[in-house]
Structures are given as structure tokens and as C-alpha cells.
Amino acid sequence: MLEVRALAKHFGGIKAVDNCSFTAEAGKITALIGPNGAGKTTAFNCISRTMAPTAGEILLDGERIDHLKPHQVTRRGLSRTFQITRNLEDLTVLENLVVQSKVHGWRALFEPAITKEELKKAEEILAFLNITRLAYEETRNLSYGQKKLMDFGALLMSDPKIILLDEPAGGVNPSLLAEIVEHIRALNGQGLTVLIVEHNMELVMSLSDKVVVMAHGEIIAEGPPAMVQTDPKVLEAYLGGTNVEPAHA
């Protein structure tokens, strides 16, 4: 579904991402992990084209998207969330979902602000996330966790083939996190491909089909969770030192 080839993003002499290559298989959940400053979010920004890469290729379903604008990437079927929730506080939850729906060009200028199709779809997504009660609540009144759920719902409005989730567990209480995990599993069960950046290792290891590990802007390991969590290079990247022994079952 997604292939990243020799991706690089440099800020002057700083190589935030350097020669980074990995894949996310269709219908699977792939986790991108690494210590703080590893380059994970920068890689996400380049993949979603909210940031232009310095070099490399990004392919979605075999077609390059690294030259496209962010809204064009979304049209191709890739949507993402951000570490910090992004929303329009003066709009209701339902309206925040609708503004994320696909844009149909100049013809949309002659349509109602919210079409029947968009309303129906937004209501279905809110029902799926169990937040129908919040549909007409102004976003400014939501808790942080509720905003996270709204962001999650908003990215589904564009009919994505793959979703990129940037730290969905960050700042979320355990009860709400359990709900989010179930939603991810349910969507993946319907065939949606998921790429996730997350620091919660328990979540990563229980949820992912494959784990990709970054350190200092480079990929240092890739494979099933059980293999990655015992890789000496991964343990060294997280724990430091040169005498780190791999964990034993």
C-alpha cells in the first residue's frame, strides 16, 4: 500500500530523516517507533506532504505521491492525524468532520454548505465512534480525549485507503484509549491499512502486525513485534550503552 524509498529531510546540516526506507502492507497495521528525536513525525510530515522531502520517493499503491500537494495526497486515499489536535473551535463536531470531506472542485460552490450525503456520512462516523451525543457541541467545549476522537472521525470523511495516526494514545486516559484501539482494530478488520507512530510500547506490540524502528533519522530494524522488541540495536537505541543484552522469553 505504502512504500517509502530512501526518504530524506534535512534542515541545514541536520539530517532529521536520512535514507529512510520501509513499507506498510495493505490491510495491515504497521507501527513506526523510536526514541524522541528519531525523525518519526518528520517522516510522517513528508509522507503526507505537509512537508516537502529533501530526497527520496513515496509511493501509494505503486504511484508516486511525493510531488503532490497535501489535498491531492488525501484524494489519493491517504489521511492523517497530528500529535496535537487540529480543529476549528467555533464549529460543531459535525461541522469539523464535514470540512474534512473530499472536495469536488468548483461544482462544490453551487452545493449546500453541508450536503445530505456528507451529513449522513458524518452521522455514521459519529455513531461508529460512539460520540453522536457530541454532534452539535462546539469543539471548544470538548475534552482533549474527545477532540482526539473527533480528529479520528474527521480523517475517515475522505474515504482513506490508509490512515496515519501520530501518537493516538498521547494524553488520552486509559478508558478512552481502549475505545480508540477498538476503533482501529474494527477499521483494520474492514480492510483499512494503518500506519501508526506511538510511544506506548504495550499498545504497539499488541496492536501491530509489523514494527519499523527509527533512530537518528534512519531505520535500524523492521519486522514482527516479537522479533523487534528483542533486537539488540533496538534495545541499545532505547536504553543506551553498548552492553545491552536482548531480552529472553
3-class state of residue 91 by DSSP: coil
β pairing state of 210-215 and 29-33 = parallel
Q: Are residues 62 and 5 in the same domain?
A: yes
| CA–CA separation, 151 and 141 (whole Å) | 15
The packing angle between helices 116-128 and 144-156, to 10°, is 130
What's the predicted TM-score (pTM) here?
0.82
Q: How confident is the model at residue 107 (pLDDT cuts 50, 70, 90)?
A: very low
Examine residue 233 and state whether it is found in any structural domain, yes or no.
yes
Statement to judge: residues 27 and 130 lie in one domain: no
Range of the domain at 181: 1-77+160-244
Q: Which amino acid is at 58?
A: I
> Out of 17-21, 89-93, 180-184, which region has the weakest mean confidence (pLDDT)?
89-93
Which DSSP category does 133 fall into?
A: G
pLDDT tens per residue, range 76-99: 999 888 655 566 667 888 888 887
**Residue after which a domain boundary falls, among 158, 190, 216:** 158
Say yes or no: 153 and 165 in one domain: no
Angle at 205 between CA 203 and CA 207, to 5 degrees: 65
Tens-digit pLDDT profile for residues 130-175:
889 988 988 888 888 888 888 888 888 888 999 999 888 777 788 8
* Listed residue (219, 224, 220, 178) closest to 20, CA to CA: 219
What pLDDT, on a 0 to 100 scale, did the predictor assign at position 241?
A: 41
Instruction: Quote the pLDDT of residue 246.
Output: 37
CATH number, position 2: 3.40.50.300
**Whether residue 66 is found in the same domain as residue 122:** no
Given a cut of 60, whether residue 108 has pLDDT beyond it is: no
Note whether residue 249 is domain-resident: no
- Residue 110 has a pLDDT of 43
Instruction: Tell whether 32 is covered by a domain.
Output: yes
